[in-house]
Amino acid sequence: MKKQEITTKNSINHTKSIKNLDNLKKNDINYKKSLGQNFIYDTNLLNAIVSDADIHDDDVVLEIGAGAGTLTSILASRASRVISFEIDRSLSEILNDVKNRHANVEFYFQDFMECDIDELPFERAKVVANIPYYITTPIVFKLIDKIEKFDMIMLLVQKEVAERFASSNGSKEYGITSVILQSLFDVKITRVVRKEAFTPMPKIDSAVVKMVPHKKYNITNFDEFRAFIHQSFSMRRKTLVNNLKSKYDKEIILNSLKSLNLNENIRPEQISVKEYVLLFDMLKN
């Protein structure tokens, strides 16, 4: 089947699916607080989120947390294939209906954290997901451990978490996660999603954060770099030198900071990602 024929078929299925979503009664779902279930039914908002992801008809999309399949349906209308995880098997009837309308969707009813990404049926994919708040960080670090498999990662997360991911040095949000993610990705917030858009409504707003891999820095041992960043921020109120001196010779730290034109009393949140990479290389060598 030609690409244009696939796109046309997906568009027809998408129209049917949207009609189905409009008829879906939100109250028919037993939302599980323990699984962090907060779903979006606004198709205009869902379309805008997928547009932010820049999905094309030759893309494979990995979705984590299918929920009621509202986002899944729109992803399927634009991508060549959608691999979607959902831990809640009670949603299988609704999601099977989505699959019946979209032949290019495959559901995995299991915990994404227990899967082996290397065994999933794609060589490269884009990630688009409305992920449960309570497990955001573990999911993010599972994905970045296989960064070579992903062209883009876009997540709908708590607004304060998105701000932490995208923050610059000098801000109160800037920290370990900011440095680690930005050493690998160009990170930006594409839109804020008000809490009223979700069912059931959470206590705080969310935001869509988009992460595109880059190769700005040549970090030879990323595990060591991550450990170095954790050590650098081990005591946020102390200077960087005080945080690092248990692992590195103090004189070497001071000389390295001087070579980077950084003050010896600088605090960890004041140092840019680029400066952290350079400092890591100096201390490592």
Residues 202 and 226 in one domain: no
Largest alpha-carbon pair distance within the chain?
68
Residues 38 and 87 in one domain: yes
Domain that holds residue 244: 222-284
Write the pLDDT tens digit of every residue in 232-265.
999 988 999 999 999 999 999 999 999 999 999 9
The reported pLDDT for the residue numbered 33 is 56
Write the pLDDT tens digit of every residue in 173-231.
999 999 999 999 999 999 999 999 988 788 899 999 999 999 999 998 999 999 999 99
- The answer to whether the CB of 165 falls within 8 A of the CB of 209 is yes
The reported pLDDT for the residue numbered 29 is 63
CATH number, domain of 131, equals: 3.40.50.150
> Residue 80: pLDDT band by 50, 70, 90 thresholds?
very high
Q: d(Cα 24, Cα 46) in Å, to the nearest integer? A: 15
Question: Which amino acid would we find at residue 107?
Answer: F
pTM, full prediction: 0.86
Residue at which a domain ends, from 213, 243, 264: 213
Residue at which a domain ends, from 184, 213, 242: 213
What is the average pLDDT score of the chain? Answer: 89
- Token pair listed for 191: 């839109």
Asked if pLDDT for residue 149 goes beyond 90, the answer is: yes
> Residue 285: pLDDT band by 50, 70, 90 thresholds?
confident
> Residue 134: pLDDT band by 50, 70, 90 thresholds?
confident
Picking from 4-8, 37-41, 139-143, 172-176, which range would have the lowest pLDDT averaged per residue? 4-8
Residues 48 and 183 in one domain: yes
Q: d(Cα 43, Cα 40) in Å, to the nearest integer? A: 8
Q: d(Cα 29, Cα 18) in Å, to the nearest integer? A: 18
Chain centroid to Cα 59, Å, comes to: 17
CATH number, domain of 234, equals: 1.10.8.100
Residues 55 and 91 in one domain: yes
Residues 110 and 26 in one domain: yes
Q: Which residue has the tokens 């839109």?
A: 191
Task: Please give the torsion angle defined by the CA atoms of residues 212, 219, 62 and 140, in that order, rounded to the nearest 10 degrees.
Answer: -100
Asked if pLDDT for residue 36 goes beyond 70, the answer is: no
Residues 245 and 202 in one domain: no
Q: d(Cα 165, Cα 155) in Å, to the nearest integer? A: 11
Average pLDDT over residues 269-279: 98
Residues 59 and 161 in one domain: yes
Residue at which a domain ends, from 180, 213, 246: 213
Q: d(Cα 223, Cα 141) in Å, to the nearest integer? A: 12
